[in-house]
Structure 1
C-alpha cells in the first residue's frame, strides 16, 4: 500500500462540491428557498435615525407655523375638534422619508396617511457610537410615529406642548422612544436596557399628589381623581400633548399622567418606551400592558396610567 502517494483533485468534483456548498448556504439563509429570514435591523442605527426623523419633522413644524392650512378630521368622542394641519402632513413626509431611506423594509405606522413625494432631504445624524449594536429581525419591528403631537394646541400657538415622536416596538413592546420639542429644540430619548438622554431622575417627594391630564380630552378624569383620592391633597394640571405629559412625569413635575378615554397608540408609544427604560410604567387603567404589534389596532380604548414610581398604588385607587 502506498500511503505516501500523490492526491489528485478532480476539478469537476471540486466545482460540484463548491456549487453544492453555495446552494446549501443559500438554503440555510432562506425559507422555502425564496423568502429571506436573515434580514436584521441594527437597533443602534435605528435609534439614530429615529432621533434624526423626529428633529427633521420638528423643523417642518416650526417653519410652517405662520402659514398653516387647518382642516378637521371630525370630532372626538368627547366633542373636541380633531384638527390636522399642513404641518402634520409635512412633518409626516419628512419623518417617513428619513426612516424609509435608511430602513426601507421596516413597517412604519403614522398618525397621517397621505402620499409623499421624493423631494425630502435628511439632515444631521447622531451616531451613538458608545452603544453596542443589537440586531432584530425586521418582521418583529413596528415603528410608530406622531408627526405633530398636540395639534390643537399648535393651532392655538401653545407651542410648549408640541412634540414630534418616534417609537420602536419589538414584538409589541415599546423599546425605543424619542420625543422632540421643536420649539425648544430639545430631544429626549431612551432605549430600554441600554441608555437614555436623561440626567439623574428624581421622582417627586411631595405630600401633594400631582396629576397631569389632557386639556382637550378630559372626559371624566378630574371627577375620577377627586373621588379616588379624596383623602389626599391633590393638584390637577391640564396640559396638551401626550408626549409633553409623559415628560412632565419623568421630570418630576407630576406624579401620574392619567387618561380615562380612548387614545391613539402613536400618541403614547414613545412615552411608554421612555418610562419603561427609566423604571416607570404605562398601562391601561386595568393595569394591562399596551401592545404595539398590530398596525391595524391603533387605538387604546381602555385609558392609561403613566407613572415613574408606585404604579400599583394608582391603579388600585382608580379601580
Structure 2
C-alpha cells in the first residue's frame, strides 16, 4: 500500500510537470507572453531588483498546485503558501482574483477576463491547467515516512528566476552542465516542511527549459581538492568576493536564480553557494534544501554561522527553518532568509567559508 507521503510526493511530481507545461505554453506565443507580464509594486516588490516581475504564469501555477493538492489532501488547506498574490490586473484596469475552478469552462471564463477577453489564450491555458497528468515513479511510491500529510506545510515558488524566464535566451548554452543565465535557470520549486519544527522534509524541482546532457558526465566537482568551487550572485558585495577568493583559488562562479544556484550544489556542479544579503525567501530555498538534506548537506543561515564562529561554537550549523515568519516585517520580508545563506553538500565547507568571511563582512 502506498503511504500518504508517497501519494503526496507522486502528486507533487505530477503538478510540477503541469506547472512546467504552463510555463512553456506561456512562452510559445509572443503576443500572449507580452500580455502576461506585470511589474510588482509596494511591499510585494523584491528590493534586490530594479524591476521585479509577476507573471500570470506564476499565479496560475501557484493556484493550480494549491487547487490540485487540496483536492486530494484537504488536510493541507491553509498550509500551502506561495510567493505570489493571486490578484491580477488586466489591461482594462480590472482587478481579478485568479483561482482554478472545478469546471474547465469556469476557469476559461475567469482567465478570459484577466486576458482582456482573449478566449483563445484562456482556453489554451485552461487545457494545460486541467489536464490529468500522472507522473509515476517507483522510488517515490515506495517512500515510507513516519509523518503524514497532516504534519506538513508546503512552499511554492511557481517560477523561480522570473527575470530569466521573461528575458532568458533559449539558445543559452550550458558550460559543462552549468548555466550562468538564461531559461535553464528558471525553475518550479515545491518544498515540504514539518509544521512543528519547520524542518524541510521533501522537495520537488522541475526545470522546464532544461538542456539535455549529451555527454552523460557526472558532477563537475572533484571529491578531493585543495580549493572550493564557490557560486555567488553577480550582485554580491565586493568584500564577500574578496574574502572568498582565498578559498576558491580566485576562481569564483556566478549564476542567476536562487533556486538554480542551490540546485547546482545539489547536482555537485559547485561545492557551495554563498549569499550575504537577505534577498532570498522561504519559497526559494525550501525545496532544494530538502534535497540537500537527503544527500547529507544543508542550507544554513550565514549570519548565525558567523556569530557562532566568533563565539567559538564552530559546530553550529544554523539550518534554515520554514514555519515561522518575521512578525515585525511586512509583505515578502516576513519570509526572507534575513541572515543570508550557505548551501553545501559537505558540512566541512561551512567552516572553511565562515573562517574566510569572519570579521570581513
Using the size of structure 2 for normalisation, the TM-score is 0.66
2-side partners of 1:138 and 1:208: how far apart? 42
Partner residue in 2 for 1:50: 12
Q: 1:238 to 1:104 in 2, by over 3 A?
A: same
> 1:267 aligned to 2:284?
yes
Where does 1:91-130 land on structure 2 (aligned, <5 Å)? 91-106=61-76, 107-114=79-86, 115-118=98-101, 119=104, 120-121=129-130, 122-128=132-138
Q: What is the root-mean-square deviation of aligned Cα atoms in Å?
A: 2.6
Where does 1:280-299 land on structure 2 (aligned, <5 Å)? 280-285=297-302, 286-287=304-305, 288-294=318-324, 297-299=334-336
Q: 1:232 to 1:245 in 2, by over 3 A?
A: closer
Q: 1:280 to 1:47 in 2, by over 3 A?
A: same
2-side partners of 1:42 and 1:312: how far apart? 38
Higher alpha-carbon Rg: 1
Partner residue in 1 for 2:202: 176
1:206 is displaced (CA, Å) by: 4.2
Contact kept in structure 2, 1:44 and 1:132, CA below 8 Å: yes
Gaps of 5+ in 2: 87-97, 105-128, 169-181, 306-317, 328-333
Q: 1:235 to 1:226 in 2, by over 3 A?
A: same
Partner residue in 2 for 1:159: 183
Partner residue in 2 for 1:11: none
Moved more, 153-162 or 74-83: 74-83
Which one of 60, 69, 78 corresponds to residue 90 of structure 1? Answer: 60
Contact kept in structure 2, 1:78 and 1:219, CA below 8 Å: no
Deviation digits for residues 268-318 of structure 1, max 9, x if unmatched?
A: 101111110001121010232211113674221110000111223223322
Contact kept in structure 1, 2:233 and 2:275, CA below 8 Å: yes
Gaps of 5+ in 1: 1-40, 187-198
Which one of 329, 337, 340 corresponds to residue 300 of structure 1? Answer: 337
> 1:73 aligned to 2:10?
no
1:208 is displaced (CA, Å) by: 4.4
Moved more, 201-210 or 149-158: 201-210
**Greater share of residues in helix:** 2
Point out 4+ residue stretches in structure 1 off by more than 4 angstroms: 199-203
Deviation digits for residues 132-165 of structure 1, max 9, x if unmatched?
A: 4335355531111110000011111221111101
Q: 1:244 to 1:113 in 2, by over 3 A?
A: same
Using the size of structure 1 for normalisation, the TM-score is 0.74
Partner residue in 2 for 1:141: 152
